[in-house]
Amino acid sequence: MDHSYYSISAFELLTLLGTDKAPCLIDVCLTEDIKAEPWCLPGAQHVQHRDVQLWGAAHARDRPVITICQKGLKLSHGAAAQLRSMGFDARALTGGNRAWCTANYPRIALSDSPAPGTSWVLHATRDAHACIAAWVILRWYDPRAILMWVASEHVQDVAARFEAYALPETPLAQSFAATGLRYPDLLDFVTSVDTLTNPVTSLLGVLSNLHERDEDLIHAALPFLDAAWLVHRQSDRQEVA
């Protein structure tokens, strides 16, 4: 039996995160399990297992889907099977949240992070800081997040008025750590871009001269940051399959 059709390992999934190849992550853990261990995989959306078909009916089938439960058993495999019956490319995460946590892979603390669908208000600085902030949000928190670019003096007021989220005014890695991101290697990468020590920052500087709109700049910057992240991750020998 080809188990790769039905499931994906934690390491295989990790290699896709932080890029445009990342699948849609659906967390079908029971409410009591989430209360006991209040965290999720980066970008995961919680859906009750009984509501998976409703979720599928409301979403396009343009991205693979990974279903996740506490131990990678009945809930995730049942949810993936339902989605496959609806035409999705869906697989379950082997070992579920427990295997992911044991491997010390990236997590988001639910108590510290904005809920999926929350708008983020960001400083319109048009520099490496802005690019890496947007990349982390879109690749690790919410791929469909709305980013609101405003002048620095208006960030907090806009966030309050529009019920949006503004990052804490600290170095960017610290800001994301305070916003629930638990993955030291990723935070090291963020620091390298934010402090202009990563080679990708020279390319980001050129892009800011080519694109006038903030949205266009970020759209152009994402593939370069994807590639820089892959280089950073591959050079780190701590990952073990």
Q: What is the pLDDT of residues 20-68, one digit of tens each?
A: 999 999 999 999 999 999 999 999 999 999 999 999 999 999 999 999 9
pLDDT at 153 over 90: yes
Predicted TM-score of the model (pTM): 0.92
CA dihedral (162, 163, 169, 171) positive or negative: negative
Confidence of residue 3 (pLDDT cuts 50, 70, 90): low
d(CA 77, CA 64): 15
Confidence of residue 239 (pLDDT cuts 50, 70, 90): very low
**The amino acid at 35:** K
Q: Please state, for a pLDDT cut of 90, what percent of the chain lies above it.
A: 91
DSSP calls for 69-115: -SSSSHHHHHHHHHHHHTT--EEEETTHHHHHHHTT--EEETTTSPP
**3-109: which CATH topology?**
Oxidized Rhodanese; domain 1 (3.40.250)
CA dihedral (96, 101, 105, 108) positive or negative: positive
Q: What is the pLDDT of residue 241?
A: 43
Q: What is the pLDDT of residue 236?
A: 67
Tens digit of each residue's pLDDT (9 = 90 or more) over 70-112: 999 999 999 999 999 999 999 999 999 999 999 999 999 999 9
Q: For the chain, give every domain's residue range.
A: 3-109, 120-235
Nearest alpha carbon to residue 179 among 96, 107, 99: 107
